[in-house]
Amino acid sequence: MTPALTLVGLGHRYGRGGWALQDCSVVVPAGRVVALVGPNGAGKTTLLNIAAGLLRPTAGTVLVDGEPPEQQLAQIGYVAQDAPMWPRLRVSDVVEIGRCMNPRFDERMADARLRSLDIPRRARIQALSGGQRAQVALSLVLAKRPALLLLDEPLANLDPLARRDFLASMLGGCADDGVTVVFSSHVIAELERICDYLVVLGTGRVQVAGDIDDLRAGHRILTGPAGWPQRTGLTVISATHLAGRTSALVRMDAGASIGPGFDAAPPTFDELALGYLGASQPHRHEVPA
């Protein structure tokens, strides 16, 4: 099956400034729900804009279902962080605009979603709550029947109840059609509940990417006395040393073993994501046995 999203050596710089993205390579299988994680300024929005065909990369290539994004616009749905829409228009007006702009637009589905959410078609966008505006934006995007859904911090301005409702309706709208979702968020706990694939960006580069279960199986959280286990073959991702104790996220490379005095356990999703977020450059541990 053709991957939903392929990035090869992707890079982008704005004008003469620094690189927002550099040498990013990721292959996202179709039908996955991807957690895109990274600190502010890591390049998440730039990556999503390129994947959506809104921005041309400076270097490298990006493919959506094997084709450049500009040739797959009908297959791509994108919800930006502030869900930009025309504030003075009515909900019915923006639905009509969506219908006119997208040849496969499912107006019945959009209307049914809005009715189920008690969002009046006659209401003006500016009169809606933040959660309602986000739901209108999601309804417009889902009515395109996209194969790839890109969500850039769509929950950032929502209260906890609105966040829960958005996630439930988003997953319900995507599950039946096998839509691939790339979900950018700072709220790790929300991502853990819905995502099965992880991409961590840091300083414009991909720090790690892969199936979450596979990544957890290939990493360990080590805890023990200050210092390091006396074995080679561990790639230390990040570590803390506090009150005479060491805690580290490590990658278990081929042939790796752990010396006495350290406990090892598979990382939780939080520990895996936060460990890579806290990493500078993963380094191989080479202490003689």
Round to whole Å and give the CA distance between 114 and 132. Answer: 9
Find the helix packing angle between 130-142 and 160-175, rounded to 10°: 10
Sequence-ordered list of residues with C-beta below 8 angstroms from that of 156, at least 6 positions apart, any chain: 81, 185, 186
Top-ranked range on mean pLDDT: pick from 58-62, 109-113, 275-279: 58-62
Percentages helix, strand, coil for the chain (3-state, rounded to 5) are 30, 30, 40
Q: What is the rounded CA–CA span in Å between residue 131 and residue 259?
A: 51
Structural domains in the chain plus CATH codes: 5-209 (3.40.50.300), 218-285 (no CATH)
Mean pLDDT comparison of 11-15, 48-52, 241-245, highest-scoring range:
48-52
Q: What is the pLDDT of residue 240?
A: 84
DSSP letters, 31-73, are T-EEEEE--TTSSHHHHHHHHTTSS--SEEEEEETTB-GGG-G
Q: What average pLDDT does range 156-182 have in this prediction?
A: 81
Please report which confidence band the pLDDT of residue 190 belongs to, taking 50, 70 and 90 as the band edges. Answer: confident
The average confidence (pLDDT) of the chain is 86
pLDDT, tens only, 75-99? 999 988 776 678 889 999 999 998 9
Q: Which of 32-36, 161-165, 214-218, 257-261 has the lowest mean pLDDT?
A: 257-261
233 pLDDT tier (thresholds 50, 70, 90): low
